């Protein structure tokens, strides 16, 4: 089960990063490095995880014109990251360019796309972003675009996984943030599910940050989640 959980190392504090790294490194299989940590600490953090045989999801959510994203993906693929992502909202040509750049150096790496941020709910999508329709339909639409661009999967909430897999196939990877064990703080996430709900939805990977990193003992919180999702 540990391979299903990706711990989000979202911190800009070196001491906290070192503490989390040392507390969790012997137990976790995957780490997620997002903008906060990557822009603060640079490429060295990736090397630290790789040395411990921990897989790295570099969550930079690339979104720009196709040629810029292709070049960025090519550079990032040289770091040996296992999963890299883009925003599906960049369109099919951008996603194809991203995959082209990434796969040149990383034949086993996975390139996935964010469909709709899990901090976006129905009201925000319709009234702020001016995108009509239901969030789940928008996610399915973006997932279909992602697959047509030849990417390996998507980032979505656990609530959308069943329909996406039914439409695009079981091997189309679904990575789900917005995970909150019962009783934990929702924070800025809007479309949230428990770890068990996400696993039973068929999600391939659960991205979990604050419920682990802000816990008094991150290691205990991580192991408790693992225990909870034992099927």
DSSP run (H or E) holding 19:
helix 14-24
Q: Considering the complex, state which of residue 138 and residue 189 has its C-beta at the smaller distance from ligand C5P.
A: 189
Task: Say which of 25, 50, 61, 190 is annotated catalytic.
Answer: 61
Residue 2 falls in the annotated catalytic set: no
Whole-number Å distance between alpha carbons of 96 and 100: 6
Cα dihedral 192, 9, 50, 39 sign: positive
Count of residues of this chain found to bind ligand C5P when the rule CB under 6 A is applied: 17
- Tell me which of 62, 86, 135, 155 binds ligand C5P, using CB under 6 A: 155
Give the list of residues 6+ apart from residue 210 with CB closer than 8 angstroms, or none.
Answer: 8, 10, 184, 185, 187
Q: Considering the complex, state which of residue 106 and residue 118 has its C-beta at the smaller distance from ligand C5P.
A: 118
Query: CA geometry: angle at 1 spanning 212 and 168, to 5°?
Result: 100
Cα dihedral 101, 107, 108, 112 sign: positive
Confirm if 159 and 191 have CB atoms less than 8 A apart: yes
Applying CB under 6 A, does 114 fall inside the site for ligand C5P?
A: yes
Q: Considering the complex, state which of residue 77 and residue 118 has its C-beta at the smaller distance from ligand C5P.
A: 118
Applying CB under 6 A, does 37 fall inside the site for ligand C5P?
A: no
Cα dihedral 198, 199, 204, 207 sign: positive
Closest distance of CB 155 from ligand C5P, Å: 5
Applying CB under 6 A, does 210 fall inside the site for ligand C5P?
A: yes
Closest distance of CB 175 from ligand C5P, Å: 8
The pattern of x and - marking residues 115 through 154 that bind ligand C5P according to CB under 6 A reads: --xx------------------------------------
The window from 40-48, 93-101, 175-183, 195-203 that contacts ligand C5P (CB under 6 A) reads 175-183
Extended strands (E) in 123-184: 153-155, 173-176
Within 10 A of 93 (CB to CB), how many other CB atoms are there?
14
- Tell me which of 154, 208, 221, 229 binds ligand C5P, using CB under 6 A: 208
Applying CB under 6 A, does 177 fall inside the site for ligand C5P?
A: yes
Q: Is 169 helix (H, G, I), strand (E, B) or coil?
A: coil
Q: Which two structure tokens, joined as six digits, stand for 228?
A: 């909870």
Q: Considering the complex, state which of residue 97 and residue 155 has its C-beta at the smaller distance from ligand C5P.
A: 155
Residue 44 CB-density burial (10 A; 0-12 exposed, 13-18 middle, 19+ buried): exposed
Closest distance of CB 174 from ligand C5P, Å: 11
Residues carrying an active site annotation: 61
**Where on the chain is the footprint of ligand C5P (CB under 6 A)?**
8, 10, 34, 59, 114, 117-118, 155, 177-179, 187, 189, 207-210
């Amino acid at each position: 089960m540990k391979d299903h959980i990706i711990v989000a190392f979202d911190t800009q504090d070196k001491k906290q990063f070192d503490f989390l790294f040392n507390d969790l490194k012997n137990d976790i299989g995957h780490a997620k490095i997002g903008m906060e940590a990557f822009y603060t600490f640079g490429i060295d953090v990736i090397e630290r995880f790789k040395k411990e045989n921990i897989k790295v999801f570099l969550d930079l959510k690339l979104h720009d014109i196709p040629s810029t994203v292709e070049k960025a993906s090519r550079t990032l693929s040289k770091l040996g990251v296992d999963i890299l992502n883009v925003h599906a909202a960049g369109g099919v040509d951008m996603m194809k360019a991203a995959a082209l750049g990434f796969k040149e150096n990383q034949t086993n790496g996975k390139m996935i796309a964010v469909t709709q941020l899990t901090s976006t709910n129905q009201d925000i999508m319709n009234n702020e972003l001016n995108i009509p329709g239901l969030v789940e339909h928008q996610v399915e639409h973006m997932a279909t675009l992602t697959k047509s661009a030849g990417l390996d999967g998507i980032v979505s909430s656990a609530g959308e996984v069943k329909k996406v897999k039914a439409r695009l196939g079981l091997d189309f990877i679904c990575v789900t943030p917005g995970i909150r064990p019962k009783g934990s703080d929702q924070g800025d996430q809007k479309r949230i599910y428990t770890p068990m709900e996400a696993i039973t939805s068929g999600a391939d990977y659960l991205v979990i940050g604050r419920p682990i990193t802000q816990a008094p003992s991150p290691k205990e919180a991580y192991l408790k989640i693992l225990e909870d999702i034992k099927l």
